[in-house]
Amino acid sequence: MEPPESITLDAAEKIILRWDSTASEETTDRMIFDGDRREVDQYLQAVDEIQRSMSAATISDGDRKGNSTIQIAMARLEDEFRSILISNTSPLETDSLIDSSFSTHSSSINVHSGEFEEYPEDERVLRQVGESPKAGESSSRASASYRSTNSIRELDLIPAEAIDNLRCIAERMISAGYHHECVQVYGSVRKSAVDSSFRRLGVENLSIGDIQRLEWDVLEVKIRRWIRAAKVCVRILFASEKKLCEQIFKGLDTATDNACFIETVKGPAIQLFKFAEAISISRRTPEKLFKMLDLHDALLDLLPDIDAVFESESSESIRIQAAEILSRLAEAARGILSEFENAVLSEPSKVPVPGGTIHPLTRYVMNYINLISDYKQTLNELIVSKPSTGSRYSGDQTMPDMDFAEFEGRTPLALHLIWIIVILQFNVEGKSKCYRDNSLAHLFIMNNLHYIVQKAKGSQELREIIGDDYLKKLTWKYQQAATSYQRTTWVRVLYCLRDEGLHVSGSFSSGVSKSALRERFKAFNAMFEEVHRTQAMWHVPDSQLREELRISITEKLLPAYRSFLGRFRSHIESGRHPENYIKYSAEDLETAVLDFFEGYPVSQHLRRRSQ
């Protein structure tokens, strides 16, 4: 509002001198802008008058006085500016800013059990101020992908009236050539404010060394928090600071506008990105893949907004740094995948898993690639080259290899996943050789390949990536293993029940050699008992597979035994102690087979056939 009367130079000077900060205590006890609006207008008018007279006057020594007065005014205005800023600066109400579109589940892989775990985030799912919540992200396991639809949202950090006042002051300071001081004051107050907001958002100030020393599961939590905080920092906090600078300095001097913004946010931006940078250079071990990808995706999502907020030339280093971090995270992801493949190939444990059951490595790898398939959207973009190991590279024929021609037209990611299964298979086969018992070795292979197929079929994405053809191959392989197992174990057992060698033709009688027959029965019983005792301890975890295997055994065993019994029992029963030889009925055997592959020991005594 324009004051009604114009003001004389003398009066103006008096007003300025009255409010001289350095002159008396009285005038510094209160701020002009805290008081009466008329006093404010009067003061501003006085400043304008002094400036006007100085620019109108010719350069002469007599102007010294005005020169001095303007300095007093500027010093005062600087204090006023600071005061208004400080009293209107409060840290961001961060609670209300946490977006509701964050997913509510997070996936992680437990290195020890090989199982992957899902656990709910302890997010506060709140609405944005005044807005309806955005549609939640699909919270399938693909929730770990943070491609969200958030965008820049500028808040009014300072009420409009205060902005007007600040602008009034800035205008005058800048036109008097005091823009340096203005920027200084602005920067120092706002930097503190950003620092406070950072603390509220949980943005920590850790050194790279600190971060490297932390355990990964601690870091995972920090990464999640960082992603949340970074979105708020870039899209709301920094964007709002930029807006504030524009509101105060717009049209006055573009250099000042930008200088204030950079002054305020450069340090905080560096601090913010430092964390992501430190993560991108941490040691590449497999369990880190998924959180790294989360971080990568979050940063990728933020990049356009970073570029928008830091568009000026002087903030180029921040944009460059963000882009660098992104590419380093991508490199890290690629490196981790490569590390993983090497680890699977060279996993050296030679201790055979008891009972021939599923090896922890198999579980871990299948769960791992399951999670990878969840991230396929990102990984398809990051993984661009085919797997580069194998016998075709090392010339080592004992290494596995894969014929890429078979997989024409697949994405590099698909090739990598298939390759991982190939080397897993290779490794499993290698481990099977540690079993002294060949049967067990075959069972082991059967179990593990079956698990691979089941896991692959269980996930739509994984199944698509690997392809049914390959799965058919694997299926055939484990069926083969099952057959090999049966052959290895049962051929010699059933050999006891063969016809040849039992018939004797001789001078005294043509018929069956009773002694040979007795030996046969004894041998069969002993073998069967041994097989029973041993293989009850073996384990086929999959119930369907277990059933099928048992059925297959009984289908071969029972008819052979029944037939043998049928033909030869009379010979035994006509001799002494038949119960020593015909210990079991067919039903007994059938029952006994039910004990197989349960993984528990059984009592040594089978139910004798009831006489």
Partner 1 sequence: MPSTENQGSSSPFMSFGRSILSIRREQVHSMEANHDPNTQESEIELFLQLISKRFHDLSVVSADELLSLAWMRKLLDAFICCHEEFRVILLNNKVQVCKPPLERLVAEFFDRCLKALDICNATRDGIEKIRQWEKQLEIVLSAMDSRQRTMGEGQFRRARKALMDLAIAMLDEKETGSIFSHRNRSFGRHQSSKDQRHHLPGHSRSLSWSVSRSWSAAKQLQSIANNLVPPRGNDISATNGLAVPVFAMSYVLMFVLWALVAAIPCQDRGLQIHCSVPRHFSWGAPFILLQERIMEESKKRERRNSSGLLKEINQMERCASHMTDLVDSIHFPLTDELKTEAGQQVQEVTLLCEALKNGLDPLERQVREVFRKIMNGRTEGLEFLGSVNKPE
Residues that bind partner 1 (CB under 8 A): 21, 25, 28-31, 34, 59-61, 63-65, 67-72, 74-75, 79, 82-83, 86-87, 89, 177-178, 180-181, 183-185, 187-189, 191-193, 195, 204-210, 212-213, 266-268, 270-271, 274, 281-285, 317, 324, 331, 335, 339, 342-343
Give the separation between CA 221 and CA 212, rounded to whole angstroms. Answer: 14
Tell me which residue of 394, 405, 389, 288 sits closest to 345, measured CA to CA. 389
3-state SS, residue 504: strand
Give the separation between CA 308 and CA 610, rounded to whole angstroms. Answer: 88
Distance in Å, CB of 21 to partner 1, minimum: 6
Residue with Cβ nearer partner 1 (267 or 599): 267
Residue with Cβ nearer partner 1 (203 or 462): 203
For residue 510, what is the enclosing H or E element? Answer: strand 510-512
Give the separation between CA 235 and CA 201, rounded to whole angstroms. Answer: 13
Residue with Cβ nearer partner 1 (30 or 472): 30
For residue 118, what is the enclosing H or E element? Answer: strand 116-120
- At 61, phi and psi to the nearest 5? -65, -25
Distance in Å, CB of 291 to partner 1, minimum: 16
| Phi-psi label, residue 390: left if phi above 0, alpha if psi -120 to 50, beta otherwise | left
**DSSP letter, residue 112:** T
Distance in Å, CB of 278 to partner 1, minimum: 8
Contact 586, 561 (CB under 8 A): yes
Distance in Å, CB of 185 to partner 1, minimum: 6
| Phi-psi label, residue 596: left if phi above 0, alpha if psi -120 to 50, beta otherwise | beta
User: How many CB atoms sit inside 10 A of residue 531's CB?
Assistant: 19
Residue with Cβ nearer partner 1 (339 or 548): 339
Q: What 3 state SS string does 521-570 have? A: HHHHHHHHHHHHHHHHCCECCCHHHHHHHHHHHHHHHHHHHHHHHHHHHH
Residue with Cβ nearer partner 1 (283 or 492): 283
Residue with Cβ nearer partner 1 (25 or 122): 25
Residue with Cβ nearer partner 1 (67 or 138): 67
Largest Cα–Cα separation, the chain: 155
Residue with Cβ nearer partner 1 (139 or 212): 212
Distance in Å, CB of 270 to partner 1, minimum: 5
Burial class (CB in 10 A: 0-12, 13-18, 19+), 427: buried
Distance in Å, CB of 332 to partner 1, minimum: 8
Residue with Cβ nearer partner 1 (287 or 461): 287
Give the separation between CA 14 and CA 169, rounded to whole angstroms. Answer: 19
Residue with Cβ nearer partner 1 (273 or 581): 273
b/e code 540-550 from CB counts within 10 Å (16+ = b): bebeebbeebb
Give the separation between CA 195 and CA 192, rounded to whole angstroms. Answer: 5
- At 111, phi and psi to the nearest 5? -65, -35
End-to-end CA distance of the chain: give it in Å, rounded: 118
Residue with Cβ nearer partner 1 (158 or 445): 158
What are the distances in angstroms from CA 289 to CA 19, 104, 250, 338? 63, 20, 45, 11
Task: Spell out the residues 6+ positions from residue 210 whose beta carbon is closer than 8 angstroms to its own.
Answer: none
Give the separation between CA 466 and CA 557, rounded to whole angstroms. Answer: 38
**DSSP letter, residue 65:** H
Residue with Cβ nearer partner 1 (318 or 502): 318
Contact 545, 452 (CB under 8 A): no
Distance in Å, CB of 282 to partner 1, minimum: 8
Residue with Cβ nearer partner 1 (205 or 544): 205
Distance in Å, CB of 375 to partner 1, minimum: 22
Residue with Cβ nearer partner 1 (18 or 147): 18
